[in-house]
Structure 1
Amino acid sequence: MRDWFFTSNARSEQMSALLARNWWAIALRGALALLLGITALALPGVTMRALVLAFGAYTLADGILAIVAAIRAAREHEHWWPLVIEGLLGIGAGVIAFWAPDATVMAFVYLSAAWAILSGAAMLAASGSLHRSHGKWVLGLAGLVSLLWGVLLACAPATGALVMTAWLGAYALLFGAALLALAFQLRRQANATSERQLQGIAVPPMWPQPPAAANRPEAGWQFVYRYRRISWR
């Protein structure tokens, strides 16, 4: 149980450091989401084809940024697979949107719902491995917003284009704001870590480290047990 606890903490530190180094990618994704939201709310009378293409462009760019961050993480031998999953989901949704831009409203709703639910679930899973100082709750909020929006679309698929545009704009604004807040918090942590390293100060661990074997209670009992066995022989 103890070994699992410290292994889990090590993964949390790894994920936190990974996102902190890639704060710029999260900031770009947030800016793209805000741009999509502003465009959707400013142009409510756009055609369904334009809406599908705008959504496809956003998800494609979002997926590419996630893949870039995953490649950088893989080079550092870090926990990279959650970013790959999220990136592939975004790229897949973007390719489908560009491949069938004249799809019906129903098809677009189901595509958006599937992407939002899967992407939100991936973010919620990643937030579980993130430290509080690195925006654990902000990332969880972004994932929850995406997940709830996907569920809303899935429960009300027969929505008109005008209402769909308003929903998309509101979701994109909330989602983008959460990602930008997360990016700024990660940037602050990355700068603090860089300053400590430049000053030669050791970066304190986010979680308590496992004690040395000699200081563990079970090590002392093992020593006593072995000593008694030797003395009894």
Structure 2
Amino acid sequence: MISVPALMQSWWIAALRGAIAVCFGVFALAMPGVTLISLVAVFAVYAMLAGAVAVAGALRCRKQADDWWILLLSGVVSSVAGLLATLHPALTVLALVVVIGVNALVTGVLDIVLAVRLRKVIGGEWLLILGAATSLVFGLLILAYPGAGALALVWMIGACALLTGTLYLALAYRVYAGRQPGPAASRSRDAGTRHERRAGERRMRSAAH
């Protein structure tokens, strides 16, 4: 029996990750003159916050979802990437950019696995797949051109964060709405209940006659 996916248990994980990513993306795009070193520092905060959210959500739903370890691994990877950028400032900017690229690749792969799990329960997994594809493309571009100009990297990182953040927010809303019984579902259940009640009354009258 397949348990409820972790994202169905903790839809707020996607919402918080999306909000954090959007804030990071807006910062990068609104301040294109920021230095790459400063952006890496902001990325460290972003990665640690996103990682902490994923780890907390995974631990919270570990008893209800058998795929909680995927969220946990995603959170650990992001947290480690953030810690590397924070604790080892002596690393070259090039090395830190590579860390950002690897983090995007690993996160993208894990999000695809989560999307497959989500598809079995509720629609909207394409949002997660699209976000994962964005992360994968971004990670590949970063690793293929780690020495690109600072401005190009800033715009690339900012655009990727903004897009994936928006998709995470849309996914969070989709999952949350899927957990709530809508008016149509309620009307359908009410109609079914009335039909069963009338059928039972007819059977009782038939038995009485």
Partner SS, residue 74 of structure 1:
coil
Distance 2:93 2:76 in 1: 23
Determine if the alignment matches structure 1 residue 107 to structure 2 residue 95.
Answer: yes
Partner of 1:62: 50
1:160 to 1:69, Cα distance in 2 relative to 1, 3 A? same
SS in 1 for 2:44: helix
Are 1:14 and 2:4 an aligned pair? yes
Give the conservation status (yes or no) of the 8 Å contact 1:116–1:147. Answer: yes
**Counterpart amino acid of 2:80?**
G
After TM superposition, what 4+ stretches of structure 1 lie above 4 angstroms from structure 2? none
Identity %: 34
Unaligned stretches of 5+ residues in structure 2? 190-209
How do 1:28-43 and structure 2 match up within 5 A?
A: 28-43=16-31
RMSD: 2.2
Query: Normalised by the size of structure 1, how large is the TM-score?
Result: 0.74
Match of 1:186 among 175, 178, 183: 175
Aligned equivalent of 2:161, options 159, 163, 172? 172
Specify the code of the residue in structure 2 equivalent to 1:14. V
Which TM-score applies when normalising by structure 2?
0.82
Q: Which residue number in structure 2 is paired with residue 224 of structure 1?
A: none
The residue type equivalent to 1:165 in the other structure is V
Give yes or no for contact 2:15–2:169 (8 Å, CA) kept in 1: yes
Check conservation: 2:134, 2:160, Cα contact below 8 A: yes
Alignment check: 8 A CA contact 1:112 1:150 kept: yes
- Segments of structure 1 that go 5 or more residues without pairing to the other structure are 1-9, 202-233
How far, CA to CA, are the matches of 1:72 and 1:121 in structure 2? 22
Shift of 1:77: 5.5
Q: Which amino acid aligns with 2:60?
A: R
Residue 143 (structure 1) aligned with residue 132 (structure 2)? yes
Aligned pairs, number: 186
Look up the equivalent residue of 1:179 and give its one-letter code.
Y
SS for the counterpart of 1:128 is helix
3-state secondary structure, aligned to 2:118: coil
Distance between the aligned counterparts of 1:184 and 1:151, measured in 2? 29
Preserved CA contact (<8 Å) 1:113 1:153:
yes
Quick one: distance in 2 between partners of 1:87 and 1:58? 12
